[in-house]
């Protein structure tokens, strides 16, 4: 509402200003000054120099932006293919930067050089084949090179050797959370379909499928360092996009189909936290949080906890009202820690069994799925 009022006030101010200039023009009628609507040499000169002014603004703002926000892009990639993605990205940036700097200079310089002059006629110039060939071929070859390099990098990244030893994990997207399913000892995921969704079985796994017997469902994802993880994505409702910024990986999650992406993590969470750039970044975030905490405490509210870095899986497709908060913590462990983490996990089949036994003792006879899941976990741990 406030912003609407501000907009209305701004519009009214603009209208008032416009009316005032009109009145001012009317007061000048009959005076000796040049009231012609055609630009004279003086006007053209001013416009010509303004062109240079704008060029200077562009350059100064670009340098300012690089200095102020240049540290914000993602830093060290945490996956094997990440360096390849970053190289492609950096080449593209450098190319764009150089071409932009030169073409803007030429554009503004020529606008100044060929500004209007009294009695000067424009030269009629039909075409120049040499020039046209030059400015068509150079961008075409550059772009083709860039695209071919991109395709080559993409094919390399997406290729998974069938004989390669990988870990298969399903990521299930729904408004607004992620759930992971580990393929278990056989490393094959059991079939799944939305029709099988019932109670604890929130991913719709076909519990009769032999491959599903050892599948494990988790809400916090752990993966081991140095081993290729093959992710298979499904979506329950709308389009989502699985985005692992630190691993330079992103893939759409499409209802009705399975999409894939595989990568090999190269830093454990603990190692990544120790990178000098990350230590500095976390210290800066905590400085800001400490300041904000003081304000909050002064208002009688609880302060903020200090931040520690964690890898995240985010949703990168605007999928609804809580899209911004659709995330899952991803922990990269050493292979030994990964084994330890995996050791006490219960299979989905056992969870379902436990949940079916539970309501029998339950007077109400029906337990909500979350409660059932917790209950099944409890039974399993015992």
Nearer to Cu ion, 169 or 319 (CB): 319
Taking the complex as a whole, the smallest distance from the CB of residue 326 to Cu ion amounts, in Å, to 5
Residues facing 170 on adjacent strands: 181, 232
328 binds Cu ion (CB under 5 A): no
Phi, psi of 75 (to 5 degrees): -95, -135
| Residue 17 or 318 with smaller CB distance to Cu ion | 318
Q: Tell me which stretch binds Cu ion (CB under 5 A): 30-38, 41-49, 102-110, 238-246.
A: 238-246
Beta bridge pairs of residue 173: 178, 235
3-class secondary structure, 77: coil
Nearest to 349 by CA among 230, 166, 195, 184: 184
> Least distance from C-beta 13 to Cu ion, angstroms?
41
Tokens representing 323 are 């899209």
The least CB distance from residue 236 to Cu ion, in Å, is: 10
Quote the least distance from Cβ 221 to Cu ion, whole Å.
16
**Minimum distance between the CB of residue 96 and Cu ion, rounded to whole angstroms?**
30
**Does the protein bind Cu ion through residue 240 (CB under 5 A)?**
yes
Query: How many residues belong to the site for Cu ion (CB under 5 A)?
Result: 4
Of 250 and 286, CB closest to Cu ion = 250
CB of 373 to Cu ion, least distance (A): 22
Q: 232 or 240, CB closer to Cu ion?
A: 240
Backbone angles phi and psi of 298, in degrees to 5: -60, -30
Residue 319 touches Cu ion, criterion: CB under 5 A = yes
Which helix (H) or strand (E) segment holds residue 216: the answer is strand 216-218
Containing H/E element for 146?
A: helix 129-158
259-318 residues in contact with Cu ion (CB under 5 A) are 315
Q: Crossing angle of helices 369-381/348-361, nearest 10°? A: 110
Q: Which is nearer to Cu ion, 199 or 320 (CB)?
A: 320
Tokens at 325, concatenated: 């908060």
Question: What is the bridge-based pairing of β-strands 311-315 and 240-244?
Answer: antiparallel
Output 10 or 194, the one with its CB closest to Cu ion: 194
Q: How far is the CB of 261 from Cu ion (least distance, A)?
A: 16
Q: Is 326 in the site for Cu ion (CB under 5 A)?
A: yes
DSSP state at residue 255:
B
Instruction: Tell me the per-residue interface mask from 84 to 123 with Cu ion, x by CB under 5 A, - otherwise.
Output: ----------------------------------------
Handedness of CA 156, 157, 160, 165 (dihedral sign): positive
Residue 196, C-beta contacts closer than 8 angstroms, at least 6 positions apart: 204, 205, 206, 207
Q: Which is nearer to Cu ion, 95 or 239 (CB)?
A: 239
Instruction: Give the footprint of Cu ion on this chain (CB under 5 A).
Output: 240, 315, 319, 326
């Amino acid at each position: 509402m406030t912003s609407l009022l501000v907009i209305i006030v701004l519009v009214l101010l603009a209208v008032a200003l416009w009316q005032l200039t009109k009145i001012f023009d009317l007061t000048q009628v009959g005076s000796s000054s040049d009231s012609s609507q055609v630009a004279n040499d003086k006007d053209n000169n001013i416009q010509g120099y303004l062109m240079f002014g704008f060029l200077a603004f562009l350059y100064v703002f670009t340098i300012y932006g690089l200095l102020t926000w240049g540290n914000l892009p993602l830093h060290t990639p945490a996956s094997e293919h990440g360096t390849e993605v970053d190289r492609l990205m950096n080449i593209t940036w450098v190319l764009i930067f150089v071409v932009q700097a030169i073409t803007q200079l030429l554009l503004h310089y020529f606008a100044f050089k060929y500004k209007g002059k009294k009695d000067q006629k424009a030269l009629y110039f039909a075409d120049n084949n040499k020039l046209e060939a030059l400015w068509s071929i150079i961008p075409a070859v550059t772009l083709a090179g860039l695209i071919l390099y991109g395709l080559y990098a993409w094919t390399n990244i997406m290729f998974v050797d069938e004989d390669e030893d990988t870990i298969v994990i399903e990521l299930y997207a729904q408004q607004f959370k992620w759930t992971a399913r580990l393929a278990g000892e056989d490393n094959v995921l059991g079939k799944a379909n939305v029709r099988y969704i019932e109670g604890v079985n929130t991913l719709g796994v076909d519990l009769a499928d032999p491959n599903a017997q050892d599948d494990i469902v988790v809400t916090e994802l752990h993966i081991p360092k140095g081993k290729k993880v093959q992710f298979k994505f499904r979506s329950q409702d709308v389009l989502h996009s699985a985005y692992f910024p630190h691993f330079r990986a992103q893939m759409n999650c499409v209802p009705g189909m399975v999409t894939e992406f595989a990568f090999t993590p190269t830093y454990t969470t603990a190692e990544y936290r120790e990178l000098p750039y990350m230590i500095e970044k976390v210290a800066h975030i905590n400085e800001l949080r400490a300041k904000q905490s003081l304000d909050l405490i002064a208002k009688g509210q609880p302060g903020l906890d200090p931040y520690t870095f964690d890898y995240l899986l985010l949703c990168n497709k605007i999928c609804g009202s809580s899209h911004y908060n659709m995330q899952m913590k991803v922990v990269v462990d050493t292979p030994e820690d990964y084994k330890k983490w995996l050791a006490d996990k219960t299979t989905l089949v056992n969870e379902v069994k436990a949940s079916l036994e539970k309501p029998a003792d339950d007077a109400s006879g029906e337990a909500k799925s979350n409660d059932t899941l917790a209950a099944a976990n409890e039974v399993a741990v015992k």
